[in-house]
Amino acid sequence: MLIRIFAADSLHENGFDVLEAANAAEALRILEEHDEVDVLFTDVNMPGPMDGIALADLMCDRRPELGLIITSGRGAPDAARLPPTSLYLAKPYLPHQLAAAVERQTVH
């Protein structure tokens, strides 16, 4: 949770609007209610039955225009497991690296 707060705060400080979710089910609900969301930033390891890669895969199918950023502190997942349009951002990352990744994945 602290890492999520850090990420959200750093994105706010860089001028991005942020909606936070504690797990994949909450993220899905938010994404269904807010079609203005441009980027999904998710961790591979999330609480609940769905991990971040499964969430990204699902959203890739539902909203192919959605930018996808996947992070992990436990080593990079096999590239073949990641959605083709996703960007992997290894932990630890610096605030400017996260902001640059979001900017890169934002729909213009």
CATH of the domain at 82: 3.40.50.2300
Q: Whole-prediction pTM value? A: 0.94
Instruction: Determine the pLDDT at residue 53.
Output: 96
Give the residues across from 71 on adjacent strands.
43, 89
CA trace torsion 4, 62, 86, 30 (10° rounding)? -10
Give the residues across from 42 on adjacent strands.
70
Helix (H, G, I), strand (E, B) or coil at 26: helix
Domain range for 28 is 2-105
CA distance 56 to 69: 8
Mean pLDDT across the stretch 27-42?
Answer: 97
pLDDT band, residue 76 (cuts 50/70/90) = confident
Number of domains in the chain: 1
Mean pLDDT of the chain: 94
pLDDT band, residue 108 (cuts 50/70/90) = low
